[in-house]
Amino acid sequence: DQQVKQNSPSLSVQEGRISILNCDYTNSMFDYFLWYKKYPAEGPTFLISISSIKDKNEDGRFTVFLNKSAKHLSLHIVPSQPGDSAVYFCAATIANAGGTSYGKLTFGQGTILTVHP
Amino acid sequence: DTGVSQDPRHKITKRGQNVTFRCDPISEHNRLYWYRQTLGQGPEFLTYFQNEAQLEKSRLLSDRFSAERPKGSFSTLEIQRTEQGDSAMYLCASSFTGGAEWGYTFGSGTRLTVV
């Protein structure tokens, strides 16, 4: 049961353009969503998160959009840089379950982003 | 504090042998998580601790797997009687309680190869 899905295995964009990475989820209990970037031979690095009470969160070149009705979120990177080339993972969690903070992350399969100079 | 440390970085073992991995989390973090990642997949949750208490274990964690966090600081993950299907990257992460807003800090992982 894949509760978090990233349906695009790869994405290729030109430097300076916008990169849009997509993620869908099925579990309506998820109340926090996170994006991670991963380089080879390293652990995932946290990029940005969004609470389910918001529909947008911005941090520098990175913006995450959440559409709860569609159970869909996206990460926008503007402008894209060659150093952004990595695997991007979407993750979701139930941060608060019955008043007790929980926090196990459920990850998508990842999207390989390649930014060409 | 330099982040989450995992040791060893790589481990090659023969099928049937036991292996143990260590994770040192960020010292202020009270939560510690273990994940496993295979090629082409995202990390899969294995287990997590809040301080020294192990609060949840995934169904992926068979009886051959055991994890401990004896003093609420470092943690160990042991795999007994390793099988080829155990070959994967084992990732450790730590966080504060309610840390979703700030993300979870991952270590660089231990890559296990069972031959």
CA distance A35 to A14: 21
Could you give the percent of chain B with pLDDT greater than 70?
Answer: 95
pLDDT at A58 over 70: yes
| Residue A116 distance to chain B (closest CA, Å) | 22
Q: How many CB atoms lie within 10 A of CB B83?
A: 12
Pick the residue of A7, A51, A101 with the most B CBs within 10 A to test the interface with B by mutation. Answer: A101
**pLDDT for the residue A81:** 97
By residue count, chain A amounts to: 117
Q: Where are the beta strands (DSSP E) in chain B?
A: 5-7, 10-13, 19-24, 31-37, 44-50, 53-57, 65-68, 75-79, 88-95, 105-106, 110-114
pLDDT computed for residue A94 by the predictor: 85
- CA nearest B29: which of B7, B47, B51? B51
Instruction: Tell me what pLDDT residue A106 has.
Output: 93
Lowest mean pLDDT across A4-13, B58-67, B74-83: B58-67
DSSP classification of residue B70 = T
pLDDT value for A73:
97
- B91 and B48 Cβ atoms separated by less than 8 Å: no
pLDDT-derived band of residue A99, with 50, 70 and 90 as boundaries? Answer: very low
> Does residue A57 surpass a pLDDT of 90?
yes
Contact B115, B14 (CB under 8 A): yes
pLDDT tens digit sequence for B3-24: 999 999 999 999 999 999 999 9
pLDDT tier for residue B100 given thresholds of 50, 70 and 90: low
Name the least confident of A34-43, A97-106, B30-39.
A97-106
User: Residue A105 and residue B91: Cβ atoms within 8 Å?
Assistant: no
- Report residue B71's pLDDT band, with 50, 70 and 90 as the boundaries: confident
Q: Which residues of B touch A110 (CB under 8 A)?
A: 40-42
Average of pLDDT values for B24-45?
Answer: 93
Contact B102 A104 (CB under 8 A): no
A100 close contact with B: CB closer than 8 A: no
